[in-house]
Amino acid sequence: MVENLSISRCRNLPRGFLLFAVIVVTLELVVFSRSYVIADMSTLSVTRTSDMVKQGSDIDMLILGAIRSLAVDAKQLETELSDFDSVYNYSVPSLGTSLQFAMILQKYLDHNRKPKVILLALGPETFGKFRIDDLFYSLWSGEAIRFRRFFTIIDIFKYMPWKERIFLVPLFFENILNSYSYRMHIRDYLEYHVFDVDNWGVDDVIERNAGLVRHMEETNGQMIYGAEREVSEHELYFENIFPLGGMAQYEYDSFYLRRDENIKRLFSIAEFHNLPVIVFFMPVPGPRYDLMQKYRNFDYIQRRVREFEETFKSTIFLDMDIEYDMPYFGDSSHLNARGAKIFNRELQVALENLTQDGYGQEALSGEGLAFEIGSPIEGRIRLNGFYEKEEGDTQGKSWRWSDGLVSSFHFDWLRGDRKRKIRVSFEVEPYIVQADKEMIVGTAVDSARVILRPGTGKYSVDLLFPEGEDLHLSVAYAEAASPGDIGASPDERTLSVRWFNIGLQYVPE
């Protein structure tokens, strides 16, 4: 009876109302969902990058950052850096919070293969102190539209800490309609084509945006703001520049944050995934740089970055000269086309030097190289067949359990110039079933057998490594079992050997 009543009411609705509803829904889903093609440059970039994150990419070097780092030409790096077959710039303009870096990385890893390395481009003003209500001020303004285009309501609950969710959920629903989000762009577009009023100074914005998309495709994501402009002295502004030096003393609480707390969140995610992060800063105009030097901000910033390098072993700081002359900027902080060309060349050279230098490691000579297994940097050492890092009552050491009967170590940045012997040293502890059993350590051309005694022990073998290949080491175990299988604990992992560290050293000839 109730069902029949509902059907009857629907039939009694005016046909005009039903037609109106169909038109509204159609416009919302078909027309306004595509209205980013007449949007501003930032919204265009955010929308395109958001769509690409969900496509299942296979990227070796992933570039993350905010609006300034859109000037990085990933295609140039892809062409010039022999260690990376694919490079893409996934930077996006500000989404209203520095949480965006960690959230974008989490979303990327959920939809794509893990990259070899991340380039994280920051502005020096990233470091500072601000109130939580300041954090979300910009989200309650125009940047809310961009945030909603990149993150769904599911993403908010999946990637955002609970304290911030309470601000974002109502904001998300306020901006959920495409027609609401793009009403200003549509108005400007109509004013230009109907009344010949060009509010943006770009003539046909659709043609402009089509050109920008073509350029992003050619450069793997680059977008330059004010490409042909040169900033003048009176146009410079100095927001977010204030003394930072004494700020390292205050404590984090629920009302105040360091801006770099959210950067640390990204480092933690990267370290969990055994993923290296190369941090660098985008250039600033000379007058801005001078003011930050006056406040000793760069001393503070470099100290903070060094602390990150010490805390997060997967973090590497690329120290570059970031003071550029004003003619290389299109506005107070964005590089123009000339500045971007120079910076991209300098970034390429710096990355080449870094990779050739083994990501900051010393050459394989003298004392050799040593790696703590609990904190390796992928690119310095890449692990296969291991569980996640663990810590416990082993005199402060961290470790990883090998998974099953086979594991391997890859030193992707070390390549043998000729066949030669390398001493491989390691500290391990066999699982119960592997104790007093054989472990075979080998390269493509050589192998050695080691009997592992119960308890933690140090071992070394001399192995011949081949010429012209990245150093690769495979390990085979005689036994492996889960604690659950032998009744030791409910743990169902298949364990063979606990690895604490590994080292390489040339054997004297």
Are residues 218 and 345 both part of a single domain? yes
**Predicted pLDDT at 390:** 83
Dig out the tokens for 140 from the structure. Answer: 């309650």
Are residues 294 and 379 both part of a single domain? no
Task: List the CATH number of the domain containing 404.
Answer: 2.60.120.260
Are residues 432 and 498 both part of a single domain? yes
**Predicted pLDDT at 194:** 75
Are residues 121 and 255 both part of a single domain? yes
Question: Which residue range is the domain that position 397 belongs to?
Answer: 369-506
Q: In terms of C-beta density within 10 A (0-12 exposed, 13-18 middle, 19 or more buried), how is residue 227 classed?
A: middle
Please report whether residue 447 resides in a domain: yes
Are residues 301 and 384 both part of a single domain? no
pLDDT single digits (tens) 396-428: 678 899 999 999 998 866 666 678 899 999 999
Please report whether residue 339 resides in a domain: yes
Are residues 213 and 323 both part of a single domain? yes
Please report whether residue 248 resides in a domain: yes
**Predicted pLDDT at 357:** 56
**Predicted pLDDT at 247:** 43
> Is the separation of the CB atoms in 316 and 361 below 8 Å?
no
Q: Domain boundary residue among 356, 382, 407?
A: 356
Please report whether residue 44 resides in a domain: yes
DSSP letters, 74-131, are HHHHHHH-TT-S-EEE------SSTTHHHHHHHHHHHHSPPPSEEEEEE-GGGS-EEE
Task: List the CATH number of the domain containing 343.
Answer: 3.40.50.1110
Q: Domain boundary residue among 356, 386, 411?
A: 356
Are residues 343 and 448 both part of a single domain? no
Q: Domain boundary residue among 322, 356, 390?
A: 356
Mean pLDDT, residues 14-33 taken together: 73
How far apart are the C-alpha atoms of 92 and 420, rounded to whole Å? 47
How far apart are the C-alpha atoms of 346 and 349, rounded to whole Å? 5
Are residues 377 and 274 both part of a single domain? no
**Predicted pLDDT at 5:** 47
Please report whether residue 171 resides in a domain: no
How far apart are the C-alpha atoms of 373 and 346, rounded to whole Å? 33
Are residues 327 and 376 both part of a single domain? no
Give the end-to-end CA distance of the chain in Å, rounded to a whole number: 95
Task: Among 120-124, 226-230, 450-454, name the most confident range.
Answer: 450-454
Please report whether residue 193 resides in a domain: no
Are residues 311 and 416 both part of a single domain? no
Mean pLDDT, residues 132-144 taken together: 55
Q: Which residue has the higher pLDDT, 416 or 262?
A: 262
**Predicted pLDDT at 19:** 78
Please report whether residue 202 resides in a domain: no
pLDDT band at 309 (very low <50, low <70, confident <90, very high): confident
Please report whether residue 139 resides in a domain: no
How far is Cα of residue 357 from the mean position of the Cα atoms in its chain?
22
Query: Total domain count for the chain?
Result: 2
> Is the separation of the CB atoms in 356 and 350 below 8 Å?
no
Q: Which residue has the higher pLDDT, 358 or 62?
A: 62
How far apart are the C-alpha atoms of 92 and 101, rounded to whole Å? 9
Mean pLDDT, residues 308-334 taken together: 86
How far apart are the C-alpha atoms of 319 and 365, rounded to whole Å? 25
> Is the separation of the CB atoms in 300 and 339 below 8 Å?
no
**Predicted pLDDT at 246:** 46
Dig out the tokens for 343 from the structure. Answer: 């910076």
Are residues 322 and 391 both part of a single domain? no
Q: pTM of the entire structure?
A: 0.67
